[in-house]
Amino acid sequence: MTGDYKFDTLSLHAGFTPDDRHGSAAVPIHQTTSYVFKNTEHAAALYNLEIGGHLYSRISNPTVAVLEQRVAALDEGIGAVATSSGMSALFVTVLALCSAGDHIVSSSQMYGANINLFQHTLSRYGITTTFVAPNKPEAFAEAIQENTKMVFGEVIGNPGLDIMDITRVGKIANDAGVPLVIDATFNTPYLLKPLKNGANIVIHSLTKWMGGHGVALGGIVVDGGNFDWGQNDRFPTLTESHFGFQGVNLYEEFGPAAFINRVRTEGMYNVGPCLSPTNAFHLIQGIETLGLRMDRHMKNTEKMLNFLSEHEAISWVKHPTLPNHPDYEVAKRLMPKGSGSVIACGLKGGRQAGQTFIESVQVASHLANVGDAKTLVIHPGSTTQSHLSPEAMKAAGLTDDMLRISVGLEDFDDLKSDFEQALSRASKARG
């Protein structure tokens, strides 16, 4: 750790220098597709990766760059590329590392769209995935093959809330010459910096806690620069000639930044899931208060856990900070400030009671998101994971009576009253 600014200061300032001409204190929204070149030499220099600057907003944009630099600073990465969503952040990561015939080892218990991407989309292009339980590090070791290009998982699994011991899995992956890629959406760098705890690449859905306001979609890939891509011959996309840019060898010419340069020079150039400058601006506003919000999320989550655990209408409560959670010790070691603000619980009366509860809440919102400043509730079995087969539901640790609660920042007394009345209605519904 360098003698750097601390977390809340970085959240407010990192990556932005007011310009000399206007001195705008807020990050300006550079709502432009393109940039006027100073002359032909300047244009060529940008295309030749020999000077910094912007060519076209699909590839980079000044407002988006501030967001990238801010998140890279918070995660202690060497660089970042922001994307239109968390899913596209994952996709451009895979694109930079994997080709047809390659293999991924992934956690089996994570966000349904992540599973779908690996299981159904990538497999059509010749990239296969072996799924293993996230809390069994030895299973990752057994699943790694000669053609494995990345190990992937979520620190806090969504929605099952299983914890991956990324320190152990990272060592297993790195010992096998493979990077650990982590979806850190649920923890944010405030609760855990995966790059300092075993991971090599981090992706976030910025739409969730990082933005916090629920007004803008966005994703990001952050490169730790802590993986030696030249240690073996597994990563030709990084260690052999690039298809463009005069055949640059990214590993030789950019060293630790080879991966993140590949993401920008392939994922953004050739696919183009770029983040809009306006969304970047909104996300920057959210990140300014990330530390404050996460503290309040953790406090309200603790209060909600106490409330639910004692309520007669609730049959079970799952959260990594509860001693009965199977990964309690790992969570406490990795995330001493808290293990996120999503709670899973079972409602007596199963699906019918669950539906009544969700339709009865008034302060909490029923929607398909997490990490908003407002409290959100959903019944995964009938919504977000409804496309999964019964077998996949079971493998993902889901049950029919399960509610997912994303605890927000409201005054807890109001949340408690709202949940009391909704649980009462749910109890009556089950008779």
Partner 1 sequence: MKINLNNEIIFASTGGRVFEPKMDPLWFIHGSGQSHLSFILQGRFFANRGWPVIAADMPSHGLSNGIALMSIEAMSDWQIALMDQLDVEKVQIVGHSQGGLIGLDMAHRYPNRVSQLSLVATALSIPVNAGLIEMAKNKEQSAIDAMIDWGHGPEGHNHDNTMPGQNHLNFGVQLMAANKVGALYADLKACVDYTNGNLAANEIKLPVQLILAQKDKMTPMKSGLKAAEALRTDNITIVENAGHMLPSEHPEDVNRALRSFFIKS
* Smallest distance, partner 1 to C-beta of residue 19, A: 11
Nearer to partner 1, 53 or 350 (CB): 53
Among 30, 35, 72, 320, binds partner 1 (CB under 8 A): 72
Among 8, 58, 113, 255, binds partner 1 (CB under 8 A): 255
Among 142, 240, 253, 359, binds partner 1 (CB under 8 A): 253
Nearer to partner 1, 14 or 156 (CB): 14
Residue 26 is a binding residue for partner 1 (CB under 8 A)? no
Instruction: Specify burial of residue 208 (Cβ count, 10 A radius: 0-12, 13-18, 19+).
Output: buried
Among 11, 35, 73, 158, binds partner 1 (CB under 8 A): 73
Among 11, 27, 30, 77, binds partner 1 (CB under 8 A): 77
* Smallest distance, partner 1 to C-beta of residue 234, A: 17
Residue 129 is a binding residue for partner 1 (CB under 8 A)? no
* Smallest distance, partner 1 to C-beta of residue 258, A: 11
Residue 48 is a binding residue for partner 1 (CB under 8 A)? yes
CA 376 to CA 208: how far, in whole Å? 12
Measured CA angle at 338 (ends 132, 94), to 5 deg: 35
Residue 39 is a binding residue for partner 1 (CB under 8 A)? no
Residue 45 is a binding residue for partner 1 (CB under 8 A)? yes
Q: What is the 3-state secondary structure (H, E, C) of the chain?
A: CCCCCCHHHHHHHCCCCCCCCCCCCCCCCCCCCECCCCCHHHHHHHHCCCCCCCCECCCCCHHHHHHHHHHHHHHCCCEEEEECCHHHHHHHHHHHHCCCCCEEEEECCCCHHHHHHHHHHHHHHCCEEEEECCCCHHHHHHHCCCCEEEEEEECECCCCCCECCHHHHHHHHHHCCCCEEEECCCCHHHHCCHHHCCCCEEEEECCCCCCCCCCCCCEEEEECCCCCCCCCCCCHHHHCECCCHHHCEHHHHHHHHHHHHHHHHHHHHHHCCCCCHHHHHHHHHHHCCHHHHHHHHHHHHHHHHHHHHCCCCEEEEECCCCCCCCCHHHHHHHCCCCCCCEEEEEECCHHHHHHHHHHHCCCCEECCCCCCCCCEEECHHHCCCCCCCHHHHHHCCCCCCEEEEECCCCCHHHHHHHHHHHHHHHHHHCC
Nearer to partner 1, 71 or 317 (CB): 71
* Smallest distance, partner 1 to C-beta of residue 78, A: 4
* Smallest distance, partner 1 to C-beta of residue 209, A: 20
Nearer to partner 1, 230 or 326 (CB): 230
Among 82, 96, 161, 415, binds partner 1 (CB under 8 A): 82
Number of residues that bind partner 1 (CB under 8 A): 54
Measured CA angle at 305 (ends 303, 308), to 5 deg: 110
| Site stretch for partner 1 (CB under 8 A), options 70-78, 120-128, 201-209, 284-292 | 70-78
Residue 54 is a binding residue for partner 1 (CB under 8 A)? yes
Residue 2 is a binding residue for partner 1 (CB under 8 A)? yes
Structure token pair of residue 403: 């509610």
Among 7, 29, 56, 256, binds partner 1 (CB under 8 A): 256
Among 96, 260, 377, 378, binds partner 1 (CB under 8 A): 260
- x/- track of binding to partner 1 for residues 219-248 (CB under 8 A): -----xxx-x-x--------------xx-x
* Smallest distance, partner 1 to C-beta of residue 227, A: 10
* Smallest distance, partner 1 to C-beta of residue 377, A: 36
Residue ranges in contact with partner 1 by CB under 8 A: 1-5, 10, 13-17, 44-45, 48-54, 60-62, 64-65, 68-70, 72-73, 76-82, 224-226, 228, 230, 245-246, 248-249, 252-257, 260, 264
